[in-house]
Amino acid sequence: MNRTLTVAGEILPLHTPFRISRGVKTAAEVVTVAIAQDGITGRGECVPYPRYGENAESTIAAIEAARGAIERGVGRQDLLQLMPAGAARNAVDCALWDLELRLAGSDFAAALGLERPLRPIVTAMTVSLDTPERMALAAAALADAPLVKVKVDRSDPAAQLRAVRAAAPKPKMIVDPNESWTISDVRDLQGLMTDLRIDLLEQPLPADADRDLIGFRSAIPIAADEAVHVAADLDSLPDGYDVVNIKLDKTGGLTAALDLAQAARARGLDVMTGCMISSSLSIAPAWAIAATSSFVDLDGPLWLAEDRAGGVSAANGIMAPPRPGFWGGI
Active site residues: 151, 247
Contact 154, 185 (CB under 8 A): yes
C-alpha 174/C-alpha 149 separation (Å) is 5
DSSP result, 210-274: GGGGTT---SS-EEESTT-SSGGGGGG--TT--EEEE-HHHHTSHHHHHHHHHHHHHTT-EEEE-
Q: Which one-letter amino acid corresponds to residue 329?
A: G
Backbone phi and psi for residue 94, each to the nearest 5 degrees, phi listed first: -65, -35
**Cβ-contact 106, 329 below 8 angstroms:** yes
- Give ∠ CA 101-272-244 in degrees, rounded to 5: 110
How far is 188 from 211, CA to CA, in rounded Å? 18
Q: State phi, psi for 21 to the nearest 5 degrees.
A: -65, -20
The per-residue DSSP string of 86-116 comes to SHHHHHHHHHHHHHHHHHHT-BHHHHHT--S
- Cα–chain-centroid distance for residue 26? 18
Angle between helices 157-167 and 132-140 (to 10 degrees): 30
